[in-house]
Structure formats: C-alpha cells, structure tokens
Amino acid sequence: MDHEVVEQALAALAASGSRQLDRDCDRYARRYIDEGVEPQFEIRSTDFGGDPYFICADRYWNHRLTDEPTLHIAVECAGWLREHVAAGCRDAIREKWALGYAFITRSSVESLDEVADATRDIVANDDRDCSRAYFATLYHADKLAANFQFDELHQFLESSPLSMAAGTHRAAPLFIALQAFAAFGSRRITEEYARSLFDRAWHAPDRTHATIDVALNGLAVGVPFDAQGELLRTHAAEAVAAYPENHIFHYRLATGQYLCAAYDAALDSIDAALRLLPAIGWRVSHELLQGQYLTKREAILNGRTEAHRAAADRERVQHHEHTIAGMADTVRNSMLRTVEVVSVFAAIIAFAVGSLNVSLNGNLHLSERLWIVTLLGAGLLLFALLIVGGSWLIARRLSGEHTD
C-alpha cells in the first residue's frame, strides 16, 4: 500500500458530505485490513464527524476488534494510539475508543485465564506510562459494565493484576466512575460508598465526557435507593447544560425525570434525545440506541397516562367524599334541628299543662299561682335553651372534625 496516496485521498475527503465521508473512510479502513498493514498517518483532532483521519482510524480498529475482540488486539490499538495520536488528543481518544469498542464487542467477555495470559504480556511490554495496561483495563471493564456484571467489575477493578498494572491511571476520574458504576449495581456494596465514589468522579477537576457518561449510567441502572431519581435528574441536567447536543445525556435526564414522576418534562427530554441521535455512523449502535430511547419513551407515556388516570380517580374520590360529607352534615343538622324543635315543643306543652294545673288549683292564692307559673316557665325555658345550645355545640364540633 502506498500510504502517501491513501493519506492524500483521505485529506481530499474532508470536503465530502457526512454520509459520503463515512462510507469512504470505511472503505479505506478495509483496504488497510485487507492488505494487513496499519495506518501510518497521525491524528491531530478529536473531530469524530469531520476529520477523515480520525474516522478512518476509528473504522480500522473497530473492524479489527470486531473480528477479534480480545485484549491482545486492544493492546495493539493502545500502542498505535500512543504512537500516532497527538498528545493533546490522546486521553480523549483513548477513553472514547476503549469504551466504544468494549460496548460493540460486549458479547465476548474474556475468561479469567485469558485475561491473566494477556496481562502477563501487557505488563512485560508496557511503557512507563502504563498506557497499554490502562487501555486494556478500560476495555475489559466496560465489557463487564455493558453486561451489568457489577460484582465481577468491582473485583476486577479492585484487585486484578491488569487493573493494578494501570498504575497512576487508577486515580483517573473515569476509573473511579467505573468503580462507582460497579458499586451502584452491586447488592454487596453500600449506597453510601457508591455515592462517595460518584461524588469523587463527578467533582474531579479533570473529569471527562466519558466520566460523566459512565457515572450517570451507573446511577441510572444501579440498585434502586431513596433519592435515586432526584440525584439522576439533578446531575443529568448539569450534564445537558454542559453538553446540550449530547443525546445520551438527554436520555439520562429523561430517565431521572421519569423516576421522579415528572412525565411531561421526561417526554420533552426523550424527544430531544431522539432528535439529536445521529442517523449516520455505525448502524448497529444507532438502531440499538434508538430502540432503547423509544422503549423509554413508551414507558414515559404509560406513566403519564397512569398518572392522569390516578389524578382523575383521586378527584372523583374527593368529590364523592365531599358529597357524602355534605349529605351527612345535612342529615346530622336535620336531626339536631328536630331535637331542638321537639324539645321546645315539649317545653311549651309542659308549660301549658303545668300552668293550667296551677291556675285551676283553688287552694292557692293568685300571687302564689303566678309565682309557680313563672318558675315553671323559667325552668322550661332554661331546659329549651340548654337543648338548643347543646345541639349547636355538637354541630359545631362535628363540623370542625369534618373540616380537619
């Protein structure tokens, strides 16, 4: 292969449309594979959508790892990256490739023996910066994460020889975010420890886009706990503010809003994620993410419908309760008024009968009869007032209890 001719052709592709650029870069990547040689150009940017060199190299290593998804090929990729990527772009591309290729090849998690064999070669031939070991660690770790093998991921990151060989990279925010992912998903690790790891990764001054993505993903898929939805919604909103064109962060925000039962806001966020999801690139990833987003959208719509139905049911129940309470008040007041009327009527009859008897009693003087009639009337009036007053107090107390 004439590398100079291919590199000139790639440079000319920069003016192509995005779809044509993607297809042509993939065609040149396959040429490199068919001829058994690695690209010799240098990558000086992280423009995944417009830099033909970056796109071609990405396709090349994607095909290599898809054909042979092993740590040995991942280490070859890490070595090529160290030699052919500008230092200022190296960390971002390392994270993007390690995690991206892991996700694409997640169905081929290597056994502990295979990892041990690869580790011996990696440790023996790695550079002082441990970049190959770190790339391989990220690659294998994210395979475990993609398969939700939380306890296996925790053990691998904490104590495996390959992870230990990553050296100072173990303090990187992305490494800590992967630890948080494992901790959130494990039922053997406390929520407090998981959240402490999350906070360390999230608030690291040198946190990266990949760090945010992994940390939010762990918070979203972990074992449910109190305030999970609110934490996810708050931090995902921060991620969306920092990266407004990132569809995955809009998806995470929709998930947090869904967990908080904010269905209208969640619907807006998931629609934004679907709108921002690019239709170009590797179709498998696009279709997989689109299906995942549409499934979430359906869940949001179902939750929204159930919430509206529950609100309508609560309104009907409250209306019925108010109606029944009103009827009860009417019946109670009617009974109390009846008691009052009967009491007053009884008092009047008793007064009439008693005063008639006193009036017809010829043994008493007129002044005595008037005095007795007056006392009788006063007593019966007091009796009637007590009945009416007691009824009023009872009605007021019952009305207050109903209001409470």
Query: What's the domain range around 389?
Result: 331-403
Determine the pLDDT at residue 149: 96
Determine the pLDDT at residue 283: 45
Q: What angle do CA 14, 15, 19 make, to 5 degrees?
A: 80
Q: Give Cβ neighbours of residue 264 (< 8 Å, ≥ 6 apart).
A: 304
Nearest to 266 by CA among 251, 287, 276, 288: 251
**Residue 65: C-alpha distances to residues 45, 161, 232 (Å):** 22, 23, 33
How many other CB atoms sit within 10 Å of the CB of residue 269? 28
Q: Are the CB atoms for 305 and 261 separated by under 8 Å?
A: no
- For the chain, 404 residues long, the average pLDDT of each consecutive 10-residue run is 81 74 89 93 86 92 95 94 92 94 93 91 82 95 96 96 94 97 96 96 95 96 94 97 95 96 95 85 68 94 86 70 70 64 61 56 60 66 68 64 53
- Dihedral pair phi/psi, residue 353, rounded to 5°: -65, -45
Cα dihedral 124, 129, 130, 131 sign = negative
Determine the pLDDT at residue 361: 54
Q: Say how far apart CA 60 and CA 65 lie, in whole Å.
A: 9
Residue 383 within any structural domain of the chain: yes
Q: How remote is the C-alpha of 247 from its chain's centroid?
A: 15
Q: Tokens 């997989």 appear where? A: 288
The most distant pair of C-alpha atoms in the chain lies apart, rounded to whole Å, by 147
Number of domain units in the chain? 1
Residue 268 within any structural domain of the chain: no
Q: What does the H/E/C string look like for the chain?
A: CCHHHHHHHHHHHHHCCHHHHHHHHHHHHHHHHHCCCCCCCCECCCCCCCCHHHHHHHHHHHHHHHHCCCHHHHHHHHHHHHHHECHHHHHHHHHHHHHHHHHHCCCCCCCHHHHHHHHHHHHHHCCCCCHHHHHHHHHHHHHHHHCCCHHHHHHHHHHCHHHHCCHHHHHCHHHHHHHHHHHHHCCCCCHHHHHHHHHHHHCCCCCCHHHHHHHHHHHHHCCCCCCHHHHHHHHHHHHHHHCCCCHHHHHHHHHHHHHCCCHHHHHHHHHHHHHHCCCCCCHHHHHHHHHHHHHHHHHHHHHHHHHHHHHHHHHHHHHHHHHHHHHHHHHHHHHHHHHHHHHHHHHHHHHHHHHHHHHHCCCCCHHHHHHHHHHHHHHHHHHHHHHHHHHHHHHHHHHHHHHC
Q: Are the CB atoms for 113 and 69 separated by under 8 Å?
A: no
Nearest to 182 by CA among 210, 212, 208, 146: 146
Q: Are the CB atoms for 289 and 277 separated by under 8 Å?
A: yes
For the stretch 65-72, contacts whose Cβ atoms lie closer than 8 Å and that sit 24 or more positions apart, written own/partner, are 65/101, 65/104, 65/105, 66/104, 66/105, 69/101, 69/105, 69/108, 70/108, 70/110, 70/114, 70/118, 71/110, 71/114, 71/115, 71/118, 71/119, 71/122, 71/136, 71/139, 71/140, 71/162, 72/118, 72/121
Residue 109 within any structural domain of the chain: no
Residue 245 within any structural domain of the chain: no
Residue 397 within any structural domain of the chain: yes
Q: Are the CB atoms for 85 and 42 separated by under 8 Å?
A: yes
Residue 96 within any structural domain of the chain: no
Residue 398 within any structural domain of the chain: yes
Residue 262 within any structural domain of the chain: no
